[in-house]
Every structure is written in C-alpha cells, then in structure tokens.
C-alpha cells in the first residue's frame, strides 16, 4: 500500500491599498464599506480626516491593508502640512492606489490632483457616489478617466449604499501579489483605541458646530480607565481662541452637554461597553501652527 502526502500551500494575496483623492470624495466612507466596520469618521464637511487610518480586511485567502488618507489640499498651516505628510506615507508603501472621485464634482480637478501624485504603484480610478448621478454622467466620467496615463481601470461604486464593494475587492485582488500576512489574526487596525475615541468626539464636533469651529479644534483623550462596570474617559477639546471656547460650551453649557451625550453613545457602540465621558475645553492659541503642540496632540 502506498501513501501519497499532498502538501497543500494556501495561496494568500496580501497588499497595501491606499485611498487618495480630493477632500469629501468619500474616502473614509469607502474604507468603512470595505472593512465592514465604522473605523474612520466621516462628515459632509471637507478635511474631516487628518491621519492615515489603516483598516485590515482578513479572510483565509487574502489580507488587504487599506489606508484612508486626508483629502489632498494645498497646505495653509502646519496641521495641513502634517496631513499631507500622512498622504505621503501612504503613497510610499502602496502596492495599489485607489484614486477616488466624487462623480458630482468637476473631473478636471481630480485629474490635476492625481497627475501630481506621480504614483509608482498601479492605480484604479474609483468613481464614487454613483447613486447621485445619471447613467449619462457616469459614462462621461468613465470615458474621461479611461484614457489618463495613471489609470489602469475605472470602477464605479457607491460607498454610502455599499454597492459594488465586492466587485471592487475582486478587482483589487487581481493586482496584488501572493505573500505572507503582515498583521496577525483578525486585527482590524494598528491604531490604539484612544485614537478612535478622540476621533468619535471630533466627528460629533464636525456634525454639531458650524463653519470654522471644527477646523480650529482637536481632541486629546487624557484618561482611559477600565472600571468594573464601565470605562471612564476624559478628553480635552482644544480650540485656538476664547470665543471658540464659548461657542463650544454654548449657553449655560448646553452645546457641550449635547456633544458629550451623543459622543458617549457612539463610543459605547464602538467599545461595546458603558462609558462615563468627561469633556474639558482648553484654549491653546495657534496650536495648528506649533510643532510642539501638534506632536502632543498626535500629529506627527
């Protein structure tokens, strides 16, 4: 009797896929749709994302390490420069780039941004928000990007409605090499929990306050203590001026109470545990232009 030992090697596709595009194209919404979890905060305002946020999609057959990045802009202050450094980091280690376009916006503007990136990795142009456009516009945009030198392929999705996300993943896999996974097990990201807590508070600031306030603000978690029945979290909300502090607090503290309770609900959902949240507003003049303060608040 003979025995044959068949050695089976499981072929796994592995790669870094970075999402780039102008502000508000839907990059963070797309990251969340790809990962199937709310990892990155989103808002209807531009410049919501300030960091590179990695989201890892693990199956037996592949490990896809996606990076959400800040929208590409001309920097006006040091915080902007740090944001563009986050974009640069994601440019450098991308195996594949997703160039994300809001189908409603002028394609020439996205094209100008993509040309400047001078990417070495292959690029897929992904037309987002197709739920808002007619078939005629969609076809026009496909034709526009198809001939561009950086574009290997054009794919259409709606990140918000989660349509054609599976199709996008299938195409991504075709561009990636086989390899060993970079991250172990079912890790979802490489960022600490405190970061996501501060982001959830920042997201509420983007939703609750008008105009300039969110752009003058950052959030720093100063305490994160796991108690028996709940997690005690304290965070500083940093603003640049006393007047902004007044707006954040609102009359008799009305606004900050609203901010605190809606942020707490989201943090509880994220952590799956009861949370006691304390918020403090601090004025730090010109923090957006101070290397020292930017570093302290997590912008490297």
Query: From the CB of 42, what's the least distance to Mg ion, in Å?
Result: 6
**With CB under 5 A as the contact rule, which of the stretches 26-34, 126-134, 188-196, 205-213 interacts with Mg ion?**
26-34
Give me the least distance between CB of 134 and Mg ion, in Å please.
Answer: 26
**CA gap 146, 257 in Å, rounded:** 50
Q: Binding of Mg ion at residue 69 (CB under 5 A)? A: no
Q: What single string gives the DSSP state of each residue in 172-217?
A: HHHHPPB---SS-TT---SS-HHHHHHHHHHHHHHHHS-TTGGGG-
235 within 8 A of 280, measured Cβ to Cβ: yes
8 binds, among ligand GTP, Mg ion, none (CB under 5 to 8 A by kind): none
Site for Mg ion in 137-196 (CB under 5 A): none
Which secondary-structure segment (H or E) carries 63? strand 62-68
Rank residues 9 and 44 by Cβ distance to ligand GTP and give the closer one. Answer: 44
Q: How far is the CB of 194 from ligand GTP (least distance, A)?
A: 20
Q: Which does 23 bind (CB under 5 to 8 A by kind): ligand GTP, Mg ion, none?
A: ligand GTP
Q: Which residues contact 40 (CB under 8 A, 6 or more apart)?
A: 27, 28, 29, 31, 32, 49, 53, 55, 68, 199
Residue 292 C-beta-side C-alpha neighbours within 13 Å = 3
The site partner of 24 among Mg ion, ligand GTP, none (C-beta below 5 to 8 Å per kind) is ligand GTP
Which structure tokens are listed for 103? Answer: 């189908």
Q: Give min distance, CB of 199 to Mg ion, in A.
A: 10
58 binds, among Mg ion, ligand GTP, none (CB under 5 to 8 A by kind): none
Of 3-11, 43-51, 153-161, 181-189, the segment contacting Mg ion by CB under 5 A is 43-51
Task: Decide which of ligand GTP, Mg ion, none touches 15; Cβ closer than 5 to 8 Å per partner kind.
Answer: none
Q: Which residues bind ligand GTP (CB under 6 A)?
A: 21, 23-29, 42-44, 46-49, 70-71, 128-129, 131-132, 158-160
Q: How many residues bind Mg ion (CB under 5 A)?
A: 4
Question: What distance in Å separates the CA atoms of residue 160 and residue 29, rounded to the nearest whole number?
Answer: 6
Instruction: Answer yes or no whether residue 28 interacts with Mg ion by CB under 5 A.
Output: yes
Question: Residues in the chain, how many?
Answer: 300
Q: How far is the CB of 225 from ligand GTP (least distance, A)?
A: 31
Q: Residue 150 Cβ, how far from ligand GTP at the closest point, in Å?
A: 19
H-run or E-run covering 96: strand 96-102
Name the residue with tokens 């839907």: 26
Q: What's the CA gap between 158 and 130, in Å, rounded?
A: 5
Rounded Cα distance, 226 and 153, in Å: 48
* 44, interface contact from Mg ion, ligand GTP, none, CB < 5-8 Å by kind: ligand GTP
- Paired strand residues for 178: 13
Which of 32, 49, 110, 217 is close enough to bind Mg ion by CB under 5 A? 49
- For the CB of residue 201, give the shortest distance to ligand GTP in the complex, in Å: 16
Q: Which residues would be at the binding site for Mg ion (CB under 5 A)? A: 27-28, 48-49
């Amino acid at each position: 009797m003979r025995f044959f030992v068949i050695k089976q090697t499981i072929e796994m596709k592995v790669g870094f896929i970075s999402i780039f595009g102008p502000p508000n194209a839907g990059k963070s919404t797309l990251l969340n749709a790809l990962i199937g979890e709310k990892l990155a905060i989103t808002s209807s305002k531009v410049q919501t994302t300030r960091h590179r946020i990695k989201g890892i999609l693990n199956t037996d057959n592949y490990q896809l390490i996606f990076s959400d990045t800040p929208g590409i802009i001309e920097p006006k202050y040091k915080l902007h420069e740090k944001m563009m450094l986050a974009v640069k980091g994601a440019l450098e280690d991308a195996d594949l780039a997703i160039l994300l376009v809001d189908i409603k916006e002028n394609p020439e503007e996205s094209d100008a941004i993509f040309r400047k990136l001078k990417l070495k990795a292959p690029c897929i142009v992904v037309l987002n928000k197709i739920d808002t456009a007619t078939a005629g516009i969609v076809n026009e945009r496909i034709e526009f990007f198809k001939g561009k030198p950086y574009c290997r392929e054009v794919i259409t999705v709606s990140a918000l409605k989660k349509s054609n996300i599976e199709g996008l993943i299938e195409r991504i896999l075709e561009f990636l090499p086989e390899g060993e996974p970079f991250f172990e097990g079912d890790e979802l990201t490489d960022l600490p929990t405190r970061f996501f807590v501060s982001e959830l508070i920042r997201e509420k600031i983007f939703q609750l306050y008008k105009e300039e306030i969110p752009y003058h603000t950052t959030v720093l978690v100063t305490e994160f203590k796991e108690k028996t029945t709940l997690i005690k979290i304290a965070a500083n909300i940093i603003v640049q001026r006393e007047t902004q502090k007044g707006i954040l607090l609102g009359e008799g503290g009305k606004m900050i109470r609203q901010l605190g309770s809606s942020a707490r609900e989201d943090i509880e959902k994220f952590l799956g545990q009861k949370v006691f949240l304390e918020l403090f507003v601090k004025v730090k003049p010109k923090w957006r232009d101070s290397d020292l303060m930017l570093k302290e608040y997590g912008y490297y």
